[in-house]
Amino acid sequence: MTETRTLSLAEIEDLSFRALVAAGTSEESARALALATAATEADGVASHGLAYIPIYCEHVRCGKVDGQATPVLTRPKPGVVAVDAATGFAHAAIDLGFETLVPATREQGLAVLVIRNSYNCGVLGYHTYRLAQEGLVGLGFTNAPASIAPSGGAKPVVGTNPFSVAVPGSDGQPALLIDQSASTIAKSEVMKHAREGKPIPIGWALDAEGNPTTDPNVGLKGSMAPSGGYKGVGIALLTEIMAAALTGATLGINASPFSGTSGGPPRTGQCFIAIDPAATAGGNFASTVAELVEAIRFQDGAHLPGDGRRTKRLSARGHGVDVNATTLSKIEAILA
């Protein structure tokens, strides 16, 4: 049985912040990333939470990400907000962009934020969730180093490339939150199994010849299995256009891996589209969304995207989160 320790969200945030700063990250970037880490642990997505802090710290120290980078914001058009992350963490660049994106959306009804030269943005739904909290419909796209092969091929050309949609609700929580990668499972889950020496289920990854494998290390050297076959490849290509081609970021085939220390900064990108439903649907939006949501919840056993994370999030606020003790030891070693 895996040994765990229970930490409050404040303790997770503080531990993350101190480790990142100790590794050479600026306080501004460390705070943005620490907040996201605590929120990710609260949502139950442990593979993207504290487990990533030692990796982030290693990447700051080896130069894969510039912990001291200062993102630069420009306004190419009234409805476009652009941020150059300067090879730094995506979180600080997204924070900077949202400061302008949200008021621009309220003024115009629609606005887009494009980010280039950035690093792994963690859980994409964390960012669209924040747009929904502002009463906006948030769409997000982020590309990643190539790990999915095209239909009929075996050589990766696109990343797991998640997309996310967050729809505002009436209680400060999203009424609906979709956050999914183009692969059957997020690559970080395969990496987690590799670290823990556990086999992966058939259907998660393929070997270098395109055959199914249960060995996570073989899968990491091969390719991730696309969700829904060719349809998953299509989603990955859509996200690649939105997050790389439209932002001026690096294509996944040219990006260095998010794992390991070689290759320098990945220079990937993110794209966020924010829509003010009051400008597009008048007064009907909330009732229409509520009708859709209730049609799903009315069915016994039916699952609404985002409900699982919502339940864990609300519980974590009062009860904290059980965190892997080995992960905590790695982080504490950074602070020693």
Mind telling me the catalytic residues?
A: 47-48, 189
What residue type is assigned to position 164 of the chain?
S
CB atoms within 10 A of CB 91: 27
- Helix, strand, coil fractions of the chain, as percent rounded to 5: 45, 20, 35
Q: Smallest Cα–Cα separation from 246: which of 135, 94, 80?
A: 80
Nearest alpha-carbon partner for 267 in 258, 275, 278: 258
Cα separation, 222 vs 94, whole angstroms = 31
Q: Which two structure tokens, joined as six digits, stand for 190?
A: 């395969």
Give one DSSP letter per residue of 229-254, joined into a string. Answer: THHHHHHHHHHHIIIIITTT---GGG
Q: At what angle do helices 9-22 and 53-62 cross, to 10 degrees?
A: 20
What are the residue ranges of helices labelled H in 43-77? 53-62
Handedness of CA 309, 315, 318, 321 (dihedral sign): negative
CB 239 within 8 A of CB 162: yes
Distances (CA, A) of 140 to 126, 132, 210, 270, 327: 10, 12, 29, 7, 29
**Separation between Cα atoms, residue 34 and residue 50, nearest integer Å:** 9
